[in-house]
Amino acid sequence: MDRNLSVELVSVTEAAALAAGKWMGRGNKEEADDAATQAMRKMFNSINMNGTVVIGEGEMDEAPMLYIGEHLGTGDGVEVDIAVDPIEGTDMVAAGTENGLAMIAVADKGNLLHAPDMYMEKIAVGPESVGKVDINAPVIDNLKTVAKAKNKNISDLVVAILDRERHENMIQEIHDAGARTKLIQAVDVVAAINTAFENSGVDILLGSGGAPEGVLAAAALKSLGGEFQGKLLPQTREEKIRLNKMGITDFNKVLYMDDIVKGDDAYFVATGVTNGELLKGVHYKGSTGMTHSVVMRTKTGTIRFIEGKHSLKNS
């Protein structure tokens, strides 16, 4: 990707957020997701590139658009892989609660993991703890190394983890070690990103969540200088067959940052739909919409927060 795509890519998530924001707090997550998907696809197809969706809304027979394998862009220009999540946190948008986001990741063709829609065990940390954690190590060991790397006591650490029944034992291990937990309802991408921001109050992300979200988080953390490790967790025979087709036969294989996001150039872009920890949500006033976005690029390590003012007269 020789040219800087930042402005063009942020227009994609802005369009999705502006469309979905009209459904914020109206109790209909399907309509919000559909509006974001349509707006995202339309804007993608205005960009001079030859993109292929590797993480999307589902397989071709499951999703009418932004499906895995769909081609986006004008068909000319750079060939890229695209991971899309038109709305991460559809329940949040429907309810009007925090952390609803429109997000994408883009990298050179062949450089994004084609992560199937299954669970992934994850560990994410910020720059101070890079090279110090191991997804296969006991929880207490990872907490000790992160505490040492950040010059903290274990009791000072905050661990972000999805509030799920499957995590009860891990949460107890964290508490037994003396650390604290931040239980999140969804959107573990934001929690992973927060490990790289000192003032976020999050030191490490643990637990399992969606594999597609893991790829998006890895793209962001690669730009932020953090670290992400994952292990795919197939639950059914069909999921194991899908991994075999991807060439993954060792289901205990650890996927490191460079396995998930290869090369030295990738973008992570997100726009807030509802207010949240990372970004403000969309705000409307008459024929104007205000957006708040972040654009990260691994090649330069540049992180830009962008506030946009948009005319909605023709939308």
Annotated binding residues, as ranges? 33, 57, 85, 88, 213
Q: How far are the Cα atoms of 45, 86, 90 from residue 30, in angstroms, in the given order?
A: 23, 11, 8
- The helix (run of H) or strand (run of E) holding residue 87 is strand 79-88
Q: Does residue 42 come out as left (phi exceeding 0), alpha (psi in the -120 to 50 range) or beta?
A: alpha
Q: Helices in 205-286 by DSSP H: which ranges?
A: 211-224, 237-245, 257-260
8 A C-beta contact, residue 44 and residue 12: yes
Buried b (16+ CB within 10 A) or exposed e, 44-75: beebebbbbbbbbbeeeeeeebbbbebebbee
Annotated binding site for Mn(2+): 33, 57, 85, 88, 213
Q: Give the three-class secondary structure for 233.
A: strand
Among the listed residues 183, 179, 187, 181, the one whose alpha carbon sits nearest the alpha carbon of residue 162: 183
Q: Give the three-class secondary structure for 182.
A: strand
Q: Tell me, what amino acid is at 18?
A: L
Among the listed residues 85, 87, 10, the one whose alpha carbon sits nearest the alpha carbon of residue 305: 10
